[in-house]
Amino acid sequence: MPSYLTLEHLHLAYPNGRSRWHSVVHDLDLSLEPGEIASLLGESGCGKTTILRAVAGLDMPRSGRIVLDGQELAGDGCFVPPEQRRIGMMFQDYALFPHLDIRANIGFGIRRLPAAQRADRIAEMARLVGLEHSLDKYPHELSGGQQQRIALARAMAPSPRLLLLDEPFSSLDIHTRERLAFEVRDILKETGTTALLVTHSQAEAFAISDSVGLMHEGRIVQWDTPYGLHHHPASDYVRRFIRHGDALEDRRNEIFRRARPDTAVRESANSILSSVDS
């Protein structure tokens, strides 16, 4: 049976001067089942965002195919524009409209629905992310984690066929980041949403995903469950990458353990390790 989302032999490149191209992603294959949550994990510059942009329809592949729910989005002579793909996106910087209240922010993508139906859907999404009492507030009145939940509610309001998340937690402090990653996983599972996330944070990828594709220089070097990546690394590169992520985690946990009574120290450990992590 064909998968829900399929990327086949995808070649992605950026223009690099006169009729020349800088290849970023090479011959990439990937497939997701309905309701699966997957992450692309890798160092900065390995091509994660470039893949999301191609799936969203913001860039056209040089070659290869993208198929979603049986519909060819990009391929031989075919290119469906982003607004017709029914794909939701959530970014690291919330991207909420500061001059609109939370109700209008959540309802932004469903402006064409009849008023009563729209109000119901906004209420449903606000409940889903646990912020049904904040609908009259403005984004600046909410914490970073709350704003990111509103961004999720807004992305999900139009019932997208697929949700793309680009480093959605990286502007949050490290505690909120992990808590929210678990919360978002619960919300996506509850709604049966298929999602593809990109991150350079192993903790985040492991917290949210059913499957993780570890990327290196434009290729997926291992596609596996978090357990599989951890316990059965397919190469030295994967082993080193995972060990480095574990070492950061251990260091952070140790600092927290020692600094438990002292919030100021905990805060500073948080910020030091967020910067190391990024």
Chain residues binding ligand ATP by CB under 6 A are: 14, 22, 24, 42, 44-50, 198, 200
As measured in angstroms, the least distance from the Cβ of 59 to ligand ATP is 8
Q: Do the Cβ atoms of 65 and 6 come closer than 8 Å?
A: yes
Any idea what DSSP says for residue 108?
A: G
Nearer to ligand ATP, 57 or 139 (CB): 57
Three-state secondary-structure class, residue 17: coil
Helix or strand run (H / E) with residue 213 = strand 211-216
Q: Do the Cβ atoms of 10 and 61 come closer than 8 Å?
A: yes
Sign of CA dihedral 130, 133, 136, 142: negative
Three-state secondary-structure class, residue 83: helix
Nearer to ligand ATP, 46 or 187 (CB): 46
* Angle between helices 263-277 and 174-191 in degrees, nearest 10: 70
Nearer to ligand ATP, 46 or 203 (CB): 46
Pull the structure tokens for residue 163.
């949700």
Nearer to ligand ATP, 14 or 182 (CB): 14
Q: Using CA atoms, how far apart are residues 28 and 11, in angstroms rounded to an integer?
A: 7
Nearer to ligand ATP, 166 or 178 (CB): 166
As measured in angstroms, the least distance from the Cβ of 243 to ligand ATP is 20
Nearer to ligand ATP, 53 or 266 (CB): 53
As measured in angstroms, the least distance from the Cβ of 106 to ligand ATP is 27
As measured in angstroms, the least distance from the Cβ of 113 to ligand ATP is 34
As measured in angstroms, the least distance from the Cβ of 17 to ligand ATP is 11
The DSSP secondary structure of 55-77, one letter per residue, reads: HHTSS--SEEEEEETTEEEEETT
As measured in angstroms, the least distance from the Cβ of 242 to ligand ATP is 17
